[in-house]
Amino acid sequence: MENTLTTKPHVVIVGAGFGGLEAAKKLACEDVRVTVIDRTNYYLFQPLLYQVATAALSPADIAAPIRAVLSKCRNVEVILAEVQSVDVEAKKVKTVDLEIDYDYLILATGARHSYFEHNEWEKLAPGLKSLEDAIELRRRILMAFEYAEKITDEAARKAAMNFVIIGGGPTGVEMAGAIAEISRYTLAKDFRHIDPSQARVILIEGEPRLLAAYPQDLSESARKQLMDLGVEVRTSTRATNLTEAGVQVGDEFIPCRVKIWAAGNNASFVGKTLGAPVDRVGRIIVNDDLTTPGHLEIQVIGDLANFSHQTGEPLPGISPVAMQQGRHAARNVLAMVEGRKPQRFRYWDKGTMATIGRNKAVADLKFVHLRGRLAWLAWLFVHIIFLVGFRNRLLVLFQWAWAYFTFDKGARLITRNFQSETRPPA
């Protein structure tokens, strides 16, 4: 069977996120050979990462092994590797230990955080793009309370219970709401020397309103709902410096141990190696049909792409965009294999939503704007539907139901990096 396969056109998909996975699923069992390359072995449902970071869900609840998702059709294989560059002339992708030829290439490596030229801030204020990010944030958030409980120095205790989130987009809003919730509800009875509900949660956003990409009324509603939870919202505000001790905001210094970065995206590095035109944050400016200038065999999708042909502005880096582009790129490949031309892409905007806490959310469904409980239920529904795998849906549904009725968040583990145990504690 391998011999027959090697004569078919070879499609290489780099990145098994929302975009890459949809492309792979659409090419599965078709008359092509597909190789999916990802640097992790799982597909991550990023919209729920903030729930891992705030101890509501476990990592495995929001991730599925890529191989399991793609095991059915023999024409699809998966390689765990990190692509470092693309050789456009030779039509190869290069990883540390392998070079892989392609006939068609779909690049879907996504985005990572931008620290606005302050890369040294990254260790101080982790972002929320990967499971490792989420686990590290969870550790820092829970450790802050553990530390505050132990010490007696009033100033240090206050600083430990200040949480600063930088960036008022959906991620920042969701993190702020979730931290406010665990400190006011979940952890309320757990401590004896501190009152977790006295924790300050401060959300900083450079634009004049939160959720700047959303309709005005929903921005306002999100702000109000956050303030109901006790979150301090500061718009038109930028962090000018970050140190171990806290965050400098204009003239004010906010002492805090835990700083969370939810601002600014840069496209992944791989894009630059294509030699195609890129925008200010590194996204590749694609053609109307997702192909790259001069190379119809290369398509770029998801957060790595700058697609401005529809509205004049680049489409936002959200999962529905990536998924629709992934399916479209796959259709283009099948067309080109049969000698037809790739079609132009149009995004069908069904709306966006962001959640703040129990019964608190905003949802822009185009024909209607929802707030509060209704938006929250819509948010739950959509996220469960798109969560990959029936098993994961049941697990998540159960844990959400449990948390809703008991306020208990069950995934409150602080796990450290693996370290040697044979030596006595220093």
In the window 95-134, what residues touch a second copy (CB under 8 A)? Answer: 96-98, 112-113, 115, 119, 122-123, 126-127, 129-133
The count of C-alpha atoms lying within 13 angstroms of the C-alpha of 60, restricted to the half-sphere facing its C-beta, is 3
252 in helix, strand or coil? strand
Between 72 and 344, name the residue whose CB sits nearer to a second copy: 72
Rounded to a whole number of angstroms, the minimum distance from the CB of residue 39 to a second copy is 8
Least Cβ distance, residue 188 to a second copy (angstroms): 9
Please say which residue, 82 or 349, places its beta carbon nearer to a second copy.
82
**Binding of residue 3 to a second copy (CB under 8 A):** no
Which residue in 22, 30, 174, 297 is the catalytic one? 174
Q: Which of 8, 9, 79, 158 binds a second copy (CB under 8 A)?
A: 79
Pick the closer one to a second copy by CB: 378 or 387.
Answer: 387
Among 9, 59, 255, 293, binds a second copy (CB under 8 A): 59
Q: Which residues in the 177-206 window bind a second copy by CB under 8 A? A: 187, 189-193
Q: Which two tokens stand for residue 42?
A: 């799982």
- Give the list of residues 6+ apart from residue 135 with CB closer than 8 angstroms, or none: 52, 53, 59, 415
Q: Which residues pair with 253 in a beta bridge?
A: 248
Of 62 and 356, nearer to a second copy (C-beta) is: 62
Cα 297 from Cα 278, distance rounded (Å): 18
**Interaction of residue 410 with a second copy, rule CB under 8 A:** yes
* CA–CA dist 66, 40 (Å, integer): 9
**Which residue lies nearer to a second copy by CB, 69 or 321?**
69
Strand residue runs (E) in 263-422:
265-267, 284-285, 291-292, 295-300, 305-306, 352-357, 360-364, 369-371
Token digits of residue 134: 């989420």
8-state DSSP, 120? G
Q: With CA atoms as reference, report the closest residue to 12 among 86, 123, 119.
A: 86
Q: How far is the CB of 360 from a second copy (least distance, A)?
A: 23
User: What minimum distance in Å lies between the beta carbon of 141 and a second copy?
Assistant: 12
Say if residues 168 and 210 touch (Cβ distance below 8 Å).
yes
Of 37-45, 304-312, 334-342, 362-370, which segment contacts a second copy by CB under 8 A? 37-45
| 157 binding a second copy? (CB under 8 A) | no
Q: Rg of the chain's alpha carbons, rounded to an integer?
A: 23
Q: Are 213 and 175 in contact (CB under 8 A)?
A: no
With CB under 8 A as the contact rule, the residue among 135, 210, 322, 361 that binds a second copy is: 135
280 binds a second copy (CB under 8 A): no
- Confirm if 234 and 226 have CB atoms less than 8 A apart: no
* Least gap, CB of 369 to a second copy (angstroms): 35
Active site residues: 174
